A and B are shown apart, each in its own frame.
Chain A
Amino acid sequence: MKRMTSILLAVVAALAGCQREQRQLRLDPPTADALDKIALMPNGIAGAPPRVYFALGKPYEANAYNLSQGKRLYSWFGCKSCHGDGQGGSGPSFLDGWWYYGPEMVSIFASIRDGRPHGMPSFRDKMTTDQIWQLAGYVQTIGSYEGKTAAPSRNDEKQTRPAENRAPAKLRFDQGPSPVHLDQGPTP
């Protein structure tokens, strides 16, 4: 009985753990191509990720390595210059619960890859598909109301908001509704 329980526990831990800790360092080019083919709704909000995304086990939402790579890309590709630490600047905040194009991974992916009106540039020619998904996963994470255990923690720099694994958006959300940013355009 005891052995059964422990085996069961180990299996559960294995299933939960492997997904979160695996490090997929190289994406096969056909897979990367397939991951690029998202089906977006005509208004650019929400849609369906490609089937391979599910076949891979939604690797960009709860995998620690991908999230932490996403965090590095966030600073490497200059996201900070408009979005700051995630609380916005000349670009919208990710923490106030106000997603212009919805909080789904496909929407965020599309925003990064194709750009959006009112100043969001397209990163199609600057990043690979794999990187865009990693970055999208990270952006979704900082705006999440639930702390993910796989999310990265603070960086070795000045800290301006709670770390990603502490659900910074939840804290902002608790402060009450945020005003609509008219300067960033109407919602589509």
Chain B
Amino acid sequence: MIRALSKICLSAMLAVPLAACGSNWQSALDVHGTSAISLKHLILLIVAVCSVVWMLVMVALIWALWHRREGLSTPPQPGRERRMTIAVIGAVIVTAVIIGTFTIMSFFATRSLSVAGQDELTIRVRGLQWWWGIEYLGPDPSRRFETANEIHIPVGRSVHLKLEGLDVIHSFWVPSLAGKQDLIPGRSNELTIRAEQPGVYRGQCAEYCGMQHAHMALLVIAESQDDFDKWANAERNAAAQPVEEEAAAGMQTFLTKPCAACHTIRGTIAAGTTGPDLTHVGSRRTIAAGLFETTRGSLAAWIADPQTIKPGNNMPMVPLAPEELRDVSAYLASLK
């Protein structure tokens, strides 16, 4: 029953692409972040120069193969040998000049990437198999809060990310905003991102991290300072008490079933830390690390059979009666 239900939901899920997405929301060529923009310029320039070099080599090859030759094979002539030597040395010098220029350019580009703004918002990003734990830091501990798989940032502000790999190595990469940086256990890496335009940018783990490396995405949502503050204040609050009967029943189920052992919902007794924080899961755009758009249906499908949808992930298949499944998904969807 549950299996069939989840299959139907799954196929519906896969058929309908996420409504929020643009065409290139995870691309190093469709850039909206300060460093990604300068990287794109560098990429285009180097690619252009290299394309010209390649074409010149091909012209030389075609010419070498098919130019007119006079007479029969003769032993190499000193005059021609000398001309060839000059040509080869000239080509090598040009090569050296080009790569020297590239080296200097990339050196300066690197320096400009590591410059950060002053007014910083600091976010701790933890990489786990196979989701992202997000913690907003700040000087005041009471204003810190946790979420998962979704980062909101104010447009035009430098945001400082502290990257920590908690199990294996992951790599944080939102190509439309910045280049990637690894999250390595036992080390702390940092990355600064700044969005120039509001929008939703997708990122994905870029270092092979095991079974579900393919499904470890996150969203970065850049919005105006006002919207960001509104969102952050909402996130700081504990979860709302369910009003509808169905959702209230779902809360009971959630707290009495294995769910609560792994997940935290602030404001309830659920305080597990193995899985993502679900306090405001209903307000997040996606579930299961960017796999589905958050709807009651997708929540139900995911809870019903996580191992078919994302084989090998750490969420077990909890046996639930159909009504329990309905209630829990209603409850989670209500956690705005």
Contacts and interface: CB of A to CB of B under 8 A. Distances in A.
A162 B282 CA distance: 45
B262 interface: yes
Contact of A125 (B185, B258, B305): B258
A23 B262 CA distance: 22
B261 A127 contact: yes
Q: Which 6 A-B residue pairs are closest in the complex by CB-CB distance?
A: A26-B307, A126-B261, A128-B316, A76-B274, A25-B311, A25-B312
Interface of A: 23, 25-27, 29, 32-33, 72, 76-77, 125-128, 130-131, 156
B2 A29 contact: yes
B317 A128 contact: yes
A25 B311 CA distance: 6
A29 B319 contact: yes
Contacts of A128: 258, 316-319
Contacts of B314: 72
Interface residues of B, number: 20
B85 interface: no
A125 B256 contact: yes
Chain B facing A: main interface SS: loop
B185 A76 contact: no
B308 interface: yes
Chain A facing B: main interface SS: loop
Contacts of A131: 258, 316
A32 B261 contact: no
Contacts of A23: 312
A156 B319 CA distance: 33
A43 to B, nearest CB: 28
Interface string B265-308: 00000000010000000000000000000000000000001011
Contacts of B305: 26
A67 B312 CA distance: 15
Given A25-B312, A128-B317, A128-B319, 5 more contacts: A32-B317, A77-B261, A128-B258, A128-B316, A130-B317
